[in-house]
Amino acid sequence: MSNQTGVQTSNATSIEPLPVWRLIACAFLPFAAGYYLSYLFRVINTLIAGRLASDLGLGAAEIGLVTSIYFLIVMAAQIPIGMLLDRYGPRRVQSALLAVAAGGAALFGLSTGFVSLLVARAMIGLGTAAALISGLKIIVLWFPRERIALLNGYMIMLGSLGAVTATAPSELLLDWMGWRTLFETFAAASALAAILIYLVVPERSLRPYCGWKPTTLKTIYSDARFWRIAPLSATCIGSAWALQSLWAAPWLCDVEGLNRASVVGYLFVMAVTLSISALLMGVLADFVRRRGNKREALFATVAVMLVMAELVLILHPPWPSLFPWCVVSVAGSATALTYAIIGDYFPGELVARANGGLNVLQFGSAFIVQYGTGLILDQWPLQDGHYPLVAYQAAFGANVLMQLAALAWFAVPWLRGRKGKDRASATRRPRGRWSLVEVIVPPAEDAILETDEHGDW
């Protein structure tokens, strides 16, 4: 990248180029801080779940709902927030929402019962709902398109440091100040981030793209390529988020029999893995794109790894489970891949809306898995204060079945393409390889959807 970012996309308004240092300091890092806070809020309940249960008398289903309401609210907010981002820009939207998150964190720290915790957690979810897609939007607005995948990886890597903070560092703070004061501290940090984004982030907008007519969500949700990858992304990434942000700690305690210090150590390693793998995902996505290969196949590989890791947890062999749990963390960082893939499918002014459409499914899946796991666990009685292994096997097994179904749906076009290769070759231009996600139809319909064929929208 040169000292100044003078790259102007064909659909961007003319503006004086800004020095790279200013783009990083005033555009990229403030949104990375907002995403950091959202990840901290997302994961922190796995650390304080036991304290909430003992202090307020909550069961597994109630803890699951209090934690998962975050995902439900984020899911419901994705579409309107995507539209607001495309219309008003990330600076205004993100700063306003982080103020809501600050209020929710303050209320959480003051809560004395289930209902107030639920309302506070919902406010936090709404306040952080735009954290990632606003960061992705600012990257699209200010940085060259060919570097988006790499910058997405950096954004997710820095944000996922919030998951690292929600382990051993937060455990030290919990022992010192308690969970109530901790959330008041989070409230102050959120308010400070809101002010910072509003004051220092430069404005930039996209004018309507001349090659694309005004669009609605129908444009995104009727795209065959979107629906080829969305179910797999939702079931895999959503499950990884749900497990790491809540049920990893109870599993380690109930099944592995680890003490509090060991559980926190496992969570810390998982969070570091999440952060590092997010960066690696961005680097790999950038490398694969420059080599002219399909990033969808790379994401499918991550999905297969997740299924195998969950099967290991279900079978529970007699060795430490840290490695499969780290694979779960790797799957949670695969958003660096999926958002880059979606960014290739749609023009710049629709990226926030398209990512929001994908987030609806990912966060919706996370809510279902997180709350559903609690409901399934409650079907078994506690044994010496712990849920039995069979309860977790049933819950995790349901996740695996959904992921296998989505993986089969994802692979069907590739299998169909291999079977009909000879027949299709007469009506398609020659190519040297077959993508895992090519949508192959009979020649008479002539409706082959390929990323490279739609590259110049």
Which range is least confidently modeled, 90-104, 249-263, 323-337, 352-366? 352-366
Check whether 98 has a pLDDT greater than 60.
yes
- CA angle 110-111-113, nearest 5°? 160
Q: Are 63 and 53 in contact (CB under 8 A)?
A: yes
- pLDDT computed for residue 348 by the predictor: 63
Spatial separation of the C-alpha atoms in residues 380 and 58, rounded to whole Å: 16
Model confidence at 430, pLDDT cuts 50, 70, 90, reads very low
124, HSE (Cβ side, Cα atoms, 13 Å): 34
Residues with Cβ within 8 Å of 121's Cβ and at least 6 positions away in sequence, in order, are 66, 67, 69, 70, 104, 108
Q: Per-residue confidence at 47, pLDDT binned at 50, 70, 90?
A: confident
What average pLDDT does this structure show over 297-319? 93
Pairing state of beta strands 18-19 and 4-5? antiparallel
pLDDT for residue 402 is more than 70: yes
More confident call, 218 vs 135: 135
Q: What are residue 12's phi and psi, to 5 degrees?
A: -100, 145
The more confident residue out of 412 and 226 is 226
pLDDT tier for residue 415 given thresholds of 50, 70 and 90: low
Q: What pLDDT band is residue 9 in, cutting at 50, 70 and 90? A: very low
126: three-class secondary structure by DSSP = helix
d(CA 185, CA 174): 11
CA gap 344, 72 in Å, rounded: 27
Predicted model pTM: 0.74
Which helix H or strand E contains 4, and what residues bound it?
strand 4-5
Whole-number Å distance between alpha carbons of 120 and 52: 14
> Which of helix, strand or coil describes residue 449?
strand
Q: Which of 284-288, 308-312, 397-401, 429-433 has the lowest mean pLDDT?
A: 429-433
Please name the residues in contact with 24: beta carbons below 8 A apart, sequence gap of 6 or more.
Answer: none
In the chain, the percentage of residues whose pLDDT exceeds 70 is 81
Q: Where are the domains of the chain?
A: 19-204+215-425
Q: What is the pLDDT of residue 435?
A: 40
pLDDT at 433: 41
CA torsion, points 232, 236, 238, 243, in degrees to nearest 10? 170
Alpha-carbon distance of 97 to 135, in angstroms, equals 13
Per-residue model confidence (pLDDT) at position 343: 74
Sign of CA dihedral 25, 27, 32, 33: positive
Residue 23, pLDDT > 90, answer: no
d(Cα 58, Cα 236) in Å, to the nearest integer? 28
Element (H, E) at 5: strand 4-5
| Alpha-carbon gap, residue 230 to 243, rounded angstroms | 19
Lowest-confidence segment of 89-93, 213-217, 362-366, 401-405 by average pLDDT: 213-217
The conformation of residue 414, written as its DSSP 8-state character, comes to: H
Task: Extract the tokens encoding 379.
Answer: 């079907």
Of 1.10.10.10, 1.20.1250.20, 1.10.645.10, 3.30.1300.10, the CATH number of 19-204+215-425 is 1.20.1250.20
Confidence of residue 156 (pLDDT cuts 50, 70, 90): confident
Burial classification of residue 430, based on how many CB atoms lie within 10 Å of its CB (0-12 exposed, 13-18 middle, 19 or more buried): exposed
Mean predicted confidence (pLDDT) in 150-176: 87
Q: Cα separation of 82 and 130, whole Å?
A: 8
Does the pLDDT at position 444 exceed 80?
no
Q: Are the CB atoms for 182 and 173 separated by under 8 Å?
A: yes
Helix, strand, or coil (residue 383): strand
**Cα–Cα distance measured from residue 421 to residue 390, given in angstroms and rounded to the nearest whole number:** 45
Q: Which two tokens stand for residue 357?
A: 């459409």
Residue 142 to residue 202: CA distance in whole angstroms: 10
Gap between the Cα atoms of 402 and 240, Å rounded: 13
